[in-house]
Amino acid sequence: MMAESSSYGEIFEHKTVQVTKHGTITYTLVSSSKTNGHNHGLLAPEDGNALPALETVMEPEVEDSGKGLTKQRLHQRYSQGRWRQLRIALLVLFWLSVLGLIAACVYLVARERTCQGPDEPYAESWWKKTVLYQLNIKTFQDSDNDGIGDIQGLISRLDYIKETLGLQVIVLNSILQGPNGNNFAVANFYNIDPAVGTLTDFKDLLDQMHGRNMSLVMDIPVSSTSQQHPWFLSSQLSTVATPPEMGTSFRDFYVWHSGYWDAAVTQAGRDFSTPPSLQKTKFGGRTVWGWMPSRQQYFSSYLSGEQADLNYESESLRQAMDNVLRFWLHQGIDGFRLLNVENIVSPTGSPLVNASMDAALTSIPTPIVSLLYRWRRVLDDARSGNRKVLMVDGDGLEALSGLIAVDLLLNRRLMQWNSTTPNPGLEVARFVQQSLHNADGSANPSPNWAVGNFDAHRMASRVGSLELVDALNMLHLLLPGTAVAYHGDELGMLDGPHGTHLSASDARFLSHGPQVSPMLWSNQLNAGFTNASHGPWLPINDRYRLNNVQQQLRAGHSTLKVFQKLVELKKHESALHSGTFRQVMVGESVYAFVRQSRTEGTGFLVVLDLRKPRGQLEGTESNREYSLSSAALHGWGRMIVQSVNLHRRHKQANLNQTVDLRTTLTLRPSEAVVIQFYNVHNL
């Protein structure tokens, strides 16, 4: 930089700047340390004529390393090219990140069904206050005319379940591949029975259900497998002497035992041992222990002698079962019902849980509890929205009802009621009180009720009267908690004939119990279940022309329409899905209870006469008067649901009539009624 002198004093710096105004003119900034005792700054154009200085005097370009940059110098550097490019790049990166986060949120919201309306089941405990529909797919609907129900047949009936019945959760009996059509003796945990479809069909079912805001829970038998399972076929090839690194990875997947050598037998020249015990199988009365020559050991088969018990002391087996659950969760399943948990055995071949429904354990063995918590974590790890439900089905497991790992311990107590049960009113009261409390006496957080199941006689056949079906449906659908309905019970289906219609050469299927019979859809040939020329794989109940879905929907009042009304009330009335519960009448043959809103004086009084009819014609001597005042309510109510027999007796005249809650109600055997009351307070 050039320094020069002038008449204005000592000049120590000048700088060239450009000012554009009607063109470009170049000026030189002149700064003086002193001029006649005053500080001045001049802008000297290059032609030598000085102009008055600007108000702002530019500082000398002297940097002091001990001080920070001045404001002007900082602004100057801020405006340099490379810093400007860096700022722009960072700004672009920031907005790209914001847009990416927004896109991810939109994707997750679209992917998960988290915005359902109030009637949809997808809440944290979506299974607790609803009705589950349990069905056996092979007897529900055939789609390919081979006489066997299948997945596509179920898909074709989803609107019946969702729209006609008002149900949103299906519990699907096991469809896992098994020998001879036995889906509960699993031969492959990763595939389904070819008789009902393919994995592609199964994914289609899930897509169709989720598109309707429905949920699917599937059965998984966990205590044993078929002896044809690849795990067992590999396990039997290993011997005790085989080093782990040289044997198969399935060597300890099952319960094996060398037995006890008999010296006398050995001395006689036979190399043979005796079984570890003489215990009998749970079903069939055969010996639990089976000899496997290839391994020179016995294997345990506690259930029937035709299966092989899994060894849950093996970490390899536990990991394998974790992977089974993960596989189906990956398909999109909404939960599991674990079967035969009570039949998991110890290394001695004895079940870890050894109790019946009437003699339930007060505590469950630690290995079972550890397993359930382990599987709970598997479900939670796979969760991508709503909680996956974990149900357990089995006798003698009541102590599990307070276990947070288990969402629902399915309750079979009401299924103990049968045609020979004395004093049904007293027995039902006992079943209900037992079910509302845990084994330790605390309140059961997840009460649930079932009056039918795949392994028990049909509800109407079990209690010995079609007339009692409406009362049973009122009972289990309106009690506190979750109701589980077995398909066909909405019609009052009876047991079907025993046996199969398949030839003896067809080894795909075994005989099934009479409760497993085809669904009754219409009065057409084969009840609308199949168009197969050879008929359905199981015989159909002879009464199908009088009792079927089509006929009951057309009727003015029917068991199906009673079921529909009860489901509607269960879904929409707060008194029924979150209200209080009181038993108000308990007698030899009567049971009545009140469900009441916790915030209002509204609710429902349910009165059930549990006597069986004596014949087609009932005389007036069978009438009984029940005092409604025992419900400790005052005011008026409205009769909103009647059993079919009560409705028929009154010739439809008294439905929706008002009822004085301080008077008496007259009922005949098997009649039942639901009375709704408004703004009524307890006396």
> Tens digit of pLDDT for each residue in 340-378?
998 898 888 788 776 544 444 456 778 889 999 999 999
Query: What are φ and ψ of residue 291, in 5° steps?
Result: -90, 135
Domain boundaries, given as residue ranges, for the chain: 1-61, 230-309, 574-677
Count other C-beta atoms under 10 Å from residue 207's C-beta. 12
Dihedral sign (CA 165, 171, 175, 180): negative
Largest pairwise CA distance in the chain? 139
Q: pLDDT above 90 covers what percent of the chain?
A: 46
> Tens digit of pLDDT for each residue in 467-516?
999 999 999 999 999 999 999 999 999 988 865 554 444 433 444 677 78
99, two tokens: 């847009």
Cα–Cα distance list, 126 to 177, 208, 408, 446 (Å):
29, 19, 12, 12
What is d(CA 36, CA 31) in angstroms, rounded to the nearest whole number?
14
pLDDT of residue 424 exceeding 70, the answer is: yes
What is d(CA 376, CA 246) in angstroms, rounded to the nearest whole number?
34
- Going by pLDDT thresholds of 50, 70 and 90, the confidence category of residue 568 is very high
Query: What are φ and ψ of residue 374, in 5° steps?
Result: -60, -45
Cα–Cα distance list, 386 to 30, 116, 380, 671 (Å):
76, 11, 10, 41
Across all residues in the chain, what is the average pLDDT? 81
What is d(CA 359, CA 39) in angstroms, rounded to the nearest whole number?
108
Tell me, what's the pLDDT at 382? 87
3-state class (DSSP) for residue 340 = coil
> Tens digit of pLDDT for each residue in 631-677?
888 788 999 999 999 888 766 556 788 888 989 999 999 999 999 99
Is this prediction's pTM over 0.85?
no
Asked whether 300 and 288 are in contact (CB, 8 A), the reply is yes
Place of tokens 């001395």: 267
Alpha-helical runs (H) found in 42-145 = 71-78, 81-111
CATH of 574-677, one of 3.40.50.300, 2.60.40.1180, 2.160.10.10, 3.90.780.10: 2.60.40.1180
> Tens digit of pLDDT for each residue in 513-553?
777 889 999 999 999 999 999 999 888 988 889 999 999 99
What is d(CA 69, CA 78) in angstroms, rounded to the nearest whole number?
11
Nearest to 406 by CA among 389, 421, 394, 420: 389
Query: What are φ and ψ of residue 4, in 5° steps?
Result: -145, 170
Count other C-beta atoms under 10 Å from residue 664's C-beta. 13
Q: Count CA atoms within 13 Å of residue 143 on its CB side.
A: 13
Look at domain 230-309 and name its CATH class.
alpha beta
Letter for the amino acid at 650?
H
Query: What are φ and ψ of residue 414, in 5° steps?
Result: -65, -20
Place of tokens 């119990």: 513
Q: pLDDT above 70 covers what percent of the chain?
A: 74
